[in-house]
Structure 1
Amino acid sequence: MNKTYHLDELSEVAKEIIKNTTSKILLFNGEMGVGKTTLIKEIVKQLGSNDRVSSPTFSLVNEYKGTTDTIYHFDLYRLNDIEEAYQIGIEDYLYSNAWCLIEWPEKIKDFLPKKTTIIDIKAHLNEERVLEMR
């Protein structure tokens, strides 16, 4: 799926991602400030959570309750080494059959299951974003 969108279209974009993903493990790639967390907030909302969603920059992972599933949101930007990933139990999360929405997934590439959905986001003209999902 390829999509160009504005922020006021996030609800529709999140719905399309959920509908078209083949995995509950979503890997978000993009430069800092491109809108990864903003999109994840909308996906969490579309999955039925009423929780306040914030970036887990310092805690590395936040947990939310969706309508039918648990949702884990990871921000691995501040992950110092692979040992930290072990300490938070990354493998348990990844194989829990819960939704795992992961920013900066390259930091744990050796732990990632083969079946994931990769979402690349790039800034475009006039505050637009270009999303590629594969």
Structure 2
Amino acid sequence: MQKIIYSQNQIDQIAQQILHKVQSKILCFYGEMGAGKTTLIKALVKELGGEGSAFSPTFGIVNEYYLKTGEVLGYHFDFYRLEEETEALDLGLEDYLSQDVWIFMEWPEKINSFLPENVSKITIEVIDQHTRKLFF
């Protein structure tokens, strides 16, 4: 398990480190509200060459990100608002997971029984207003 302590101004370097060390394109992000999950996903999308800026899909549940070529880079899920984990299946989760693209999931604990075995788990803890501790 990797442990990294970082501040906001180091987020791009942290994204690079994660992308070089994860074993899967399916990344599950754990952490309290406001820990910086979406901020880290934005940095990952940027490092991967995503077109436009990433934002939290809290109200839409899922966002699509594209490369400059128009190809799908990946999907960003925010399961915070799910009442029951079966709602993820209604969104077509299985179809998304069957693609060879990046998958970023916030609040994956809401859909535990549907998570594939080959996910990379990333936990973010708040140390203070500007500093985070990351485990993956």
* Fold shared by both chains (TM-score > 0.5): yes
**Aligned partner of 1:16: which letter?**
Q
Would you say the 8 A contact 1:44–1:66 is kept in 2? no
Which residue identity does 1:32 align to in structure 2? Answer: M
Alignment partners' CA distance in 1, 2:112 and 2:98: 14
Aligned pairs, how many? 133
Q: Counterpart amino acid of 2:64? A: E
Contact 1:94-1:112 at 8 Å conserved across structures: no
**What does 1:48-67 correspond to in 2, within 5 Å?**
48-66=49-67
* Aligned residue number for residue 21 of structure 1: 22
Stretches of structure 1 lacking an aligned partner (at least 5 in a row): none
Moved over 4 A (4+): none
| Match 1:74 to one of 47, 68, 77 | 77
Confirm or deny that 1:115 pairs with 2:133. Answer: no
Structure 1 vs Structure 2 CA RMSD: 1.4
| CA 1:57–1:126: 2 relative to 1, 3 Å | closer
Q: TM-score, normalised by structure 1?
A: 0.93
TM-score (norm 2): 0.92
Distance between the aligned counterparts of 1:44 and 1:4, measured in 2? 21
Deviation at residue 53 of structure 1 after TM alignment: 1.2
Any idea what SS the aligned residue of 1:71 has? strand
Identity among equivalent pairs (%): 44
Alignment gaps of 5+ in structure 2 = none
Rounded Cα–Cα distance in structure 2 between residues aligned with 1:126 and 1:78: 25
State the partner residue of 2:93: 90
Map Cα deviations across residues 80-109 of structure 1 (whole Å, 9 max, x no partner): 223321111011111212100000001111
Check 1:10–1:92 CA distance in 2 against 1; reply closer, same or farther (3 A cut). same
Tell me the distance in 2 between the aligned counterparts of 1:83 and 1:116. Answer: 19
What residue is the counterpart of 2:106 in the other structure?
Answer: 103
CA distance in 1, matches of 2:96, 2:6: 30
